Structure 1
Amino acid sequence: MAASRYPPKGEHPRAIENIDDILAVEGLDGVIAAPLDLPANMGFVGQPSHPQVQEAMEHVRRRILARGFPIVAFAVTPDRGRVAIAEGASMLFVGFDTMKGPHCRRVDCAS
């Protein structure tokens, strides 16, 4: 089976609890801990820096590294990108789908 080209996002506390089982699925090449969806599903809407969220994100990062998968991080600022790379990220997402909404409306590409 070929590896996935886009690792699935861990957006729910159950995904964090079951991260080892998820990472063991044949064909996956990792998981991305979703830094905005995960806090919302943990009851910390808009609080990606909440200690419990950060603990969950670090747990996922450690498990991903233990399996030998690359770390993928979200970095919407240059500073966050530098931190993510220093923490071992080898791929960065530099935006979110919700960030393109206003631009698409301006150029009439929303549908």
Structure 2
Amino acid sequence: MPAPKNPFKAALRDDRFQLGLWVALASPYAAEVISGSGYDWLLIDGEHGPNDIPLLSAQIQALAGSGSHPIVRLPIGEAWLIKQILDAGAQTLLIPMVESVEQAQALVRAVRYPPHGIRGVGAALGRASRFSRIGDYLETANDEICLLVQIESRAGLDVLDAVAALDGVDGVFIGPSDLAADMGHLGKPGSPEVLAAITDAFARIKTAGKARGIMTLDLEQARLYRDLGATFMAIGTDVTLLVSATQQLREAFLAGDATAGPVSGTKPVSGY
């Protein structure tokens, strides 16, 4: 039995659009709840969410069997972190702040077994090999790992063509907020100059034949990114949705809004 198939990687290879959501609450229970909402993928955020390897691992497990593929964003692209989270069962990684070809090449090597990389041969101790029950995991694992690199600075844009051309880089994710800040538009990822940079980046990534990713909390902006050719895109975060829903419910009640109630599409259950 070979390594489990990576449906997200297969979708990117077939140029099928994949819709996602950010999961940053650092809660396996919350991740499991969200996994029933129909998103193609959920990004478990280890960069800005208060996560560590055990928590990331628990959230990967919470998504098992759901229709939502877990993508893990590590806080930094260190080989030892990559080694641990791959053995814990992650198949798709998003690595932030990639700014050089050498850095991207090191990431490719970190997710592959020797002789093509430096991933340690120890998956028998982890979930990745079903605790050694997948007999040919070592021979098949490389093909199912999906590496996404995050470009979010002018330095990253400068090397984008070379990074996107690398064998082993499956997709390039543009980080609009950090890119905007680096371009002098802090807090304004929708500014014309930033949008022009994203538009150009998408075109260059497409020329390299790689998937194009991005995220936004603005649905109008999301539709624009989709029209520009985004292959995988997140349209919200669990944190902001929780803040918005709880605040709106309270405000609607205090305003006497009789239409306020459960989220559309859900059925109230007695005995809360």
What TM-score do you get using the length of structure 2 for normalisation?
A: 0.33
* Matches for 1:19-58 after TM superposition, within 5 Å: 19-58=160-199
Percent identity of paired positions between Structure 1 and Structure 2: 25
Which of these residues, 54, 57, 72, is aligned with residue 213 of structure 2?
72
Which one has the largest radius of gyration? 2
* Local SS of the residue matching 1:89: coil
Deviates more, 1:82-91 or 1:52-61: 82-91
- Indicate the residue corresponding to 1:108 in structure 2: none
- 1:62 correspondence with 2:203: yes
Deviates more, 1:42-51 or 1:30-39: 42-51
Q: Which segments of 5 or more consecutive residues in structure 2 lack a partner in the other structure?
A: 1-141, 244-272
What TM-score do you get using the length of structure 1 for normalisation?
A: 0.73
Q: How far apart are the structure 2 equivalents of 1:102 and 1:91?
A: 20
* Local SS of the residue matching 2:213: strand
Q: How far apart are the structure 2 equivalents of 1:39 and 1:75?
A: 13
Q: How far apart are the structure 2 equivalents of 1:2 and 1:17?
A: 29
**Deviation at 1:29?**
1.1
- 1:82 correspondence with 2:223: yes
- Indicate the residue corresponding to 2:239 in structure 1: 100
Q: Which segments of 5 or more consecutive residues in structure 1 lack a partner in the other structure?
A: 105-111
Q: How far apart are the structure 1 equivalents of 2:195 and 2:227?
A: 16
**Deviation at 1:6?**
4.3
**Deviation at 1:48?**
1.1
Q: How many residues align?
A: 102
Tell me: CA distance 1:102–1:58, structure 2 relative to 1, closer, same or farther (3 Å): closer
Moved over 6 A (4+): none
**Deviation at 1:49?**
2.2
Tell me: CA distance 1:70–1:18, structure 2 relative to 1, closer, same or farther (3 Å): same
Q: How far apart are the structure 1 equivalents of 2:240 and 2:232?
A: 23
Q: How far apart are the structure 2 equivalents of 1:46 and 1:18?
A: 24
**Deviation at 1:66?**
0.6
Tell me: CA distance 1:2–1:12, structure 2 relative to 1, closer, same or farther (3 Å): farther
**Deviation at 1:13?**
0.4
Q: How far apart are the structure 2 equivalents of 1:24 and 1:89?
A: 18
